[in-house]
Each structure stands twice: as C-alpha cells, then as structure tokens.
Structure 1
C-alpha cells in the first residue's frame, strides 16, 4: 500500500494521517500481527513531523485499534465483539470487526422540514430542508437494525452519493471529518412501523441508540436514531480508575 498525503488539501495533515493509518491496519499483513512502520519512518515517508504522526497513532491507540509497546513497536489488536463507549465505529466498521456480513434491505433518502428538536440541534431554521436517510440493515437472512439519520445542510450532501459505502467515508469526501459522538442508549417497546421493519410484534423490546455526531470543530453534522432488535446488540462500557 502506497503511503502519501496531499499537502495541498484543506483536510489537516493529522486527519489525513489518521485516515491513512486506518486503511493501513486493514491490510492482511498487519491484521496478521506485523508491526506498523515506526514513527520516524512514517514521518519521513509522509513528509510530516513526528508530532503529527504520533497524534494520529495515539488516536488509534485510544480506540483500541492498535497497541504500542516500548522497545517493540505498534501493531493491530484484536477487535471486540461488543460496541465500546471508547471505541466509536460506524455500523459498517462494527460489523466488519465482528466478521458479520451485512445486507442493506432498504434505503430511502428524502428532503424534509426538520422538527424542533432537529432544527435546534443543527441550529437552523425550521423552514430549512434537511436530508433524511432511512436504512434497514442486518445479516443476509434478516434485518436487525433500522437507522434514521439527519444531516446538516452545511455538509453539502446531495442525496446522489453511493450510500452503500461507509457513511463517514462519504462525509470525508465532502471534507467533513466525524470526530466526536455523544450517545444515549434506551429501551422501549417497538412502535408499529418499527416493529414491521424489524419483523417483530408491536411492543416487543428494542434498543434505541441516539447518536449526536460532531466534526473537529465540534459543529453538529449528524443526528441519528438506531433501533435494534433487543437480542442483537450489546453495549459495553469500559472504565479505568486512575
């Protein structure tokens, strides 16, 4: 895999380096345990400072994607089956980490007038049209999650993008880097339309994950609701006492 950055791009170099490293660790040889190139070599090859490449590596370390051992080096770690609060991944990345093949059963894109909650989150007027995306996804044999996402008009999405690709890769194409996620997890009985989507009886338990997504400047970019079959999703919180 060729390692290079676009030094003329408006995307910050440390962000480009982070995205590059994310692609690098997906390569079979690194997933198999091969050590990543060291900071000095990476910085030299990418024509950036060691501080910049270290920042990018530390981001992956903080997410549990790689481990760094003094005197040894940095290598890819094994992925957890559950979703961790300090290891924020897109749905596609989560499922890839679990080795679960995913099928998209439905995809709907519409432009809608936002509710008061959505307008307040995005800090836009209620007369501003917002892109809404609905996706029903799951294993090849059956769906287990129904997503409803709204996107800030500032991003510049047209609705013509290939949404079969990972969402945050699409946002990166628009020079928008998802950097912060705040989530709320709750349980409730499935409303009629959600029950129909998931193939369960109305009132059956579903887990609802509400996600507020922000860019590097902590500006809102996405508001998402995910409705999961209760037996399909485990959320693990990992805390360390200092």
Structure 2
C-alpha cells in the first residue's frame, strides 16, 4: 500500500492522511485491534509533520475508529458503540447486535424529586418523587457510558426491582408496558469531574450526551433517559433517504 502523500494535491495534507488511515485500518492485520505504527515512523512514511498526522488521527479517534492510549500507542478500535435513528434499539439490543458483552460497573436505584424538565415530560407536579436508575456500563476493559433513567411515577416499580435484567423486558413482562417510541437529542460537552470519575477519563475529555424520551404504545411518556458516553467509544449514525 502506498503511504505517500501528494504535496501538490490541493486536498489538505491532514485530509489525505485521514483517507490513508481509513484504508490502512481496513487491512486484515489491523482488524483485530492491532497497534498502528508509532507516530514518528508513520509521519516519516507519509512525509508529513507529526502535528498534521495527529490532526488526522484525532478525527478517527473522535469517530470511534481508533483508540489512543497513553504510553501504549494508537490502535484500531475493536468495535465501537453504534447508535442511530434508522431503527430504535434499546441499549441491550444495540450491544447484542455488536456482539459486545456488557458489564455493570455501578448500579444505584433511588427515589428522587423531579426537576422541571422531567416533571414537564411526565406531566406531573414539580418535586414529585420518581424512581431513578443510575448505571455505569461498559465492556471488560473500561466503562463507556453513564446512564440516568427517570421513570413515570404511574409505573409501580420499586427500588427492590431486579435491574440486572434488560430494562424494557422488565417493563413489558412485569408491568405490561411496551416501549415503542424514542425521541432523542444528541449534544457534545466536556466530561467534568463527576462524569470523568464515572467513565475513567479526564475532566476535559470530550463526551457525547444522548437524551432519550421514551413512550409506550399508547404514547404515554414512560422514561426520561440521559446517557453520557465516552467520545472515543460511541459513534452515532444518521441515514436519510430522499
């Protein structure tokens, strides 16, 4: 494979490097999460500066295609958490589709008074208590998402509920509530101290915030969910057909 960059090409050097990296990580030897050549070696092969190379690498890290580990190097991500709007899947279904074994790092169930945006969603009085489920989840290597779920108080769930089962399975089998529709909002932010501690990253590392507003088959709001994802482990896809 030709790793040389054309300096006479009007396409920016970092964009050319990015395209080469995209081709490189598709090669068989890198498909199983192998380390890329170190930055000094790779920048020399490409004929560009390390800063230009890093710009290209950072783009692929942000997309979840590469993972950079301090003192180790940059490697191809085995699999990235993948979300999208073409078909709505629960988190458990998304992970099963990707073949990922999920581990619960933390699980807390409490009754909390609702904030205005949550009480407005459920159409209940402010400061009404609702069951709140907090989970830090990930794979064997590290946690990659911190979930906070607030449930409509009309659902008779209790803190003693076994939340090690898939959430929507619990709602359907135990309470005859079928989750049907999810409306979502995606935003980006810096982690901050609390989220950084939960996800084992730095406070100034980027995260993606995914809000889900879940309704049942009768269009009754049942769950207000916020997910804080490590940006190096989550890719959100959009498919639009005209």
Q: TM-score when scaled to structure 2?
A: 0.65
Which string of whole-angstrom CA distances, capped at 9 and with x for unpartnered residues, describes residues 94-128 of structure 1?
11110111100100000011111111111111242
Q: CA deviation at 1:92?
A: 1.0
**What are the equivalent positions in structure 2 for 1:73-84 lying under 5 Å apart?**
82-84=82-84
What is the root-mean-square deviation of aligned Cα atoms in Å? 1.4
Which string of whole-angstrom CA distances, capped at 9 and with x for unpartnered residues, describes residues 4-41 of structure 1?
xxxxxxxxxxxxxxxxxxxxxxxxxxxxxxxxxxxxxx
Q: Secondary structure at the match of 1:223?
A: strand
Distance of 2:84 and 2:188 partners within structure 1: 18
What is the match of residue 90 of structure 1? 90
What is the match of residue 155 of structure 1? 155
Q: CA deviation at 1:194?
A: 0.6
Q: CA deviation at 1:81?
A: 7.1
What is the match of residue 109 of structure 1? 109
Which string of whole-angstrom CA distances, capped at 9 and with x for unpartnered residues, describes residues 138-177 of structure 1?
0012101000010001111112221111100011020111
Larger RCO: 1 or 2 (CA < 8 Å, sep 6+): 2
What is the match of residue 11 of structure 1? none
Regions of 4+ moved over 6 Å = none
Distance of 1:197 and 1:120 partners within structure 2: 28
What is the match of residue 190 of structure 1? 191
Q: CA deviation at 1:133?
A: 0.6
Unaligned runs of 5+ in 2: 1-79
Q: Secondary structure at the match of 1:94?
A: helix
**What are the equivalent positions in structure 2 for 1:161-240 lying under 5 Å apart?**
161-172=161-172, 173-240=174-241
Distance of 2:146 and 2:81 partners within structure 1: 20
Q: CA deviation at 1:82?
A: 2.9
Q: Secondary structure at the match of 1:100?
A: coil
Distance of 1:210 and 1:101 partners within structure 2: 23
Q: CA deviation at 1:83?
A: 2.0
Unaligned runs of 5+ in 1: 1-79
Provide the aligned length of Structure 1 versus Structure 2: 162
Are the aligned partners of 1:81 and 1:97 in contact in 2 as well (CA < 8 Å)?
no
Q: TM-score when scaled to structure 1?
A: 0.65
Q: CA deviation at 1:84?
A: 2.3
Q: CA deviation at 1:239?
A: 1.4
**Of the two, which has the highest radius of gyration?**
2
